[in-house]
Structure 1
Amino acid sequence: MRTVAVLAYEGISPFHLSVPSLVFGRIGAEGRAPYEVRVCAERAGTLTTPAGFDIGVKHGLATFEWAETIVIPSWIRGAGISDDLRAALHDAHGRGTRIVGLCLGAWAVAASGLADGREITTHWSAATELARAYPAVRVRADTLWSDLGDIITSAGVAAALDCCLHLVRHDLGSRAATELARALVTAPHRSGSQAQYIPVAIPDAADDDPIEHAMVWARTHLGDPIDLDHWARIALMSRRTFTRRFRDRTGSSPQQWLLHQRTDRARLLLESTDDTMDRIAADTGFGTAVSLRHHFHRILGTSPAAHRNSFRPAHAAVGGGREAAARAAPRGR
């Protein structure tokens, strides 16, 4: 069983505190939790919250010595960290403990100095202020989460769920993360490189949205050549109108969106099947293994082979073949 310490503090939001417990502790989900989760604080005792009730915390910072992963689910905007907490984080990091800062928890990560000269992600509304406060850290506001291996940070609450599910996928494999996401009624995977916020109005009736209809159609034809003119006709629009409306709806061009969908399907097949690179390239519309490797590396920052190796060796039982991949693949409404 893996061990996770979740850091609470005076004034923490119970909602933020619940996210790592929901994911790692499988609270409300069936099945035995593969993680043991302990909530701790700098000093054990009672903490007040803005929700109108208090939280009793049994464990202190000594919990860090027990944990393989430390999660800071949020932080007080603009606040630093104590010398005791900084020392405890450095000691844990030196032992190889994974440090995770969710949402404004990235503020505590930056204050620790562990991310100096490196890149972290936080909620878009705090990014500029955080970058000014800690100029040695490169702050991202345009991604959902970032994984440096030893330090993982994310944007707001929904992105924090994505980030925690990403860690479950890394630790336990794609099937475990997908089953947990289904129990939580959330998306099984959103790439960390996905934009945090797109200023787009959501249609009142998605079923009547021609762009949504075209997106669903494309997801079910990823292995086929998709010509932009034909795709526009699916939406009953001219090519020019379709391109404009698609960008308004998604924040990207149809071609960019399609490339990310194909890459994500390839990622799923790499994790859950033993298919060759040529087969995966054909089934996802890339055509050749060379094209698959090029786009996969450009979008995800790693090669298909390296990505498969990071999931498959320790989790050979994940398996399930092409049927499992088909069940977990994105579907239309």
Structure 2
Amino acid sequence: MSALTVAVLATDGFSPFHFSVPCIIFGQSMPQPDLFRVEICAEKPALVMSDPGLSVKVEHGLDRLDVADIVIVPYWNQPEERPSQALLDALISAWQRGAEVVGLCLGTYVLAYAGLLNERRAATHWEYEADFLERFPAVHLDSNSLYTSDERLITSAGTAAGIDCCLNIIREHYGSAVANRVARRMVVPPYREGGQAQFIERPVPETSRDGKMNQLMDYLRRNLDKPHKLDSLAGFVSMSRRTLTRHFLKATGTTPGDWINAERLQRSQELLETTDHSIEKVAEMAGFQSPVSFRQSFKSKFSVSPSEWRRAFRGPDLVERQHDPA
């Protein structure tokens, strides 16, 4: 079996970390040299400068995408800037002839600009979620996933998720044994499934332009551990249920119930990361009716259990001492 050609695109202002991930994983970290062949490409062979001032000498142009088995766009420095039509056409042509086309982190933008991701699942860095959705409403952005794959169009979330994504590509082509050997060489976890949630901040608006809604949100934040009914909240701001719902939606973009749940989840994250409280105590302090409802709501939102979240931020010892079920 001949080696698979991996074309890695160098673009102006590239991120050295993102660029190095596929080069290392498919290159020097491979246990066998004949599995992949990495070729660095650019729109024109030249010296390409990275954002912090490093440079890479590129000898191949976009014509190498015509024969590559896997094409990787590891980064895109200006999400608001549409790539050249030559680059977009080369990516479309590569995918149409059967190549896998990969966008790591903000490289997903390039695939989206090409129209390749329309009506398909995709992932990108969580900080750019709102911007991406506004620019590409036809793309089904999965803001929780570390990486996605949809008909040979592969995308990843930010930074280290690119490692998981590239390891999964190896796993798909050559099996887990090869992928695990590469992971060991890199001293990284051999497998994090694509559906595992990005560990991201999900800020809830602190204030709005509506004074009464600001008062209500401040009150709720100070009393998350208490039960709240729409009738009592309406009474707090001297409004009818219907008027409150309308004003709250205008001020926050969501309903009171969904807002409270998001705040409780955010509070639970803080408690999991910064305290030694049991999962049961965290559920109580965050305002969930029971530990069961807390676990269900947490996993539904973030695709990991409270224990797994805490383990990621606090280490495994604390979680194991608490004997918390996943």
Give the TM-score, by structure 1 length: 0.61
- Cα 1:246–1:89 shift into 2, 3 Å: same
1:253 aligns with 2:299: no
Select which of 173, 176, 183 maps to 1:174.
176
- Cα 1:260–1:125 shift into 2, 3 Å: closer
Q: Is the 8 A contact 1:10 1:48 kept in 2?
A: yes
User: Residue deviations 1:240-298, cap 9 Å, x none?
Assistant: 337669999xxx729987x979xxxxxxxxxxxxxxxxxxxxxxxxxxxxxxxxxxxxx
- Cα 1:254–1:135 shift into 2, 3 Å: closer
| Post-superposition offset of 1:191 | 1.2
1:14 aligns with 2:16: yes
Q: Is the 8 A contact 2:31 2:181 kept in 1?
A: no
**What are the within-5 Å matches in structure 2 for residues 235-246 of structure 1?**
240-241=280-281
| Post-superposition offset of 1:142 | 1.6
User: Residue deviations 1:200-228, cap 9 Å, x none?
Assistant: 46869xxxx978xxxxxxxxxxxxxxxxx
Residue type of the alignment partner of 1:156:
G
> What's the counterpart of residue 37 of structure 1?
38
- Cα 1:96–1:132 shift into 2, 3 Å: same
| Post-superposition offset of 1:140 | 2.2
**What are the within-5 Å matches in structure 2 for residues 304-315 of structure 1?**
none
Residue type of the alignment partner of 2:63:
A
User: Residue deviations 1:60-90, cap 9 Å, x none?
Assistant: 0011012100000011221112111121111
> What's the counterpart of residue 255 of structure 2?
none
**What are the within-5 Å matches in structure 2 for residues 124-203 of structure 1?**
124-198=126-200, 200=269
> What's the counterpart of residue 119 of structure 2?
117
RMSD value over aligned CA atoms?
A: 3.0
Q: Is the 8 A contact 2:16 2:54 kept in 1?
A: no
Residue type of the alignment partner of 1:72:
V
> What's the counterpart of residue 226 of structure 2?
none
- Cα 1:255–1:87 shift into 2, 3 Å: closer
| Post-superposition offset of 1:185 | 1.0
Query: 2:160 is paired with a residue of what secondary structure?
Result: helix
| Post-superposition offset of 1:14 | 1.4
List runs of 5+ in structure 1 lacking aligned partners. 212-236, 262-331
Q: Is the 8 A contact 1:243 1:254 kept in 2?
A: no
User: Residue deviations 1:148-198, cap 9 Å, x none?
Assistant: 131000101111100001111111101111111111111111111111125
Query: 1:157 is paired with a residue of what secondary structure?
Result: coil
Residue type of the alignment partner of 2:103:
G
Q: Is the 8 A contact 1:11 1:49 kept in 2?
A: yes
- Cα 1:84–1:184 shift into 2, 3 Å: same
Q: Is the 8 A contact 1:127 1:140 kept in 2?
A: no
Residue type of the alignment partner of 1:187:
P
Aligned partners of 1:260, 1:183: CA distance in 2, in Å? 27
Query: 1:253 is paired with a residue of what secondary structure?
Result: helix
| Post-superposition offset of 1:93 | 0.9
> What's the counterpart of residue 79 of structure 1?
81
1:105 aligns with 2:107: yes
> What's the counterpart of residue 67 of structure 1?
68
- Cα 1:60–1:245 shift into 2, 3 Å: farther
> What's the counterpart of residue 94 of structure 2?
92
| Post-superposition offset of 1:19 | 0.6
> What's the counterpart of residue 50 of structure 1?
51
User: Residue deviations 1:70-129, cap 9 Å, x none?
Assistant: 000011221112111121111111110000000000000000011112221110111211
Residue type of the alignment partner of 1:253:
R
Percent of aligned pairs with the same amino acid: 34
Aligned partners of 2:145, 2:86: CA distance in 1, in Å? 31
Residue type of the alignment partner of 1:83:
Q
Aligned partners of 1:156, 1:136: CA distance in 2, in Å? 21
| Post-superposition offset of 1:138 | 2.0
> What's the counterpart of residue 270 of structure 1?
none
Corresponding residue pairs, total? 228
Residue type of the alignment partner of 2:148:
S
Residue type of the alignment partner of 1:184:
M
Query: 2:185 is paired with a residue of what secondary structure?
Result: helix
Query: 1:136 is paired with a residue of what secondary structure?
Result: coil
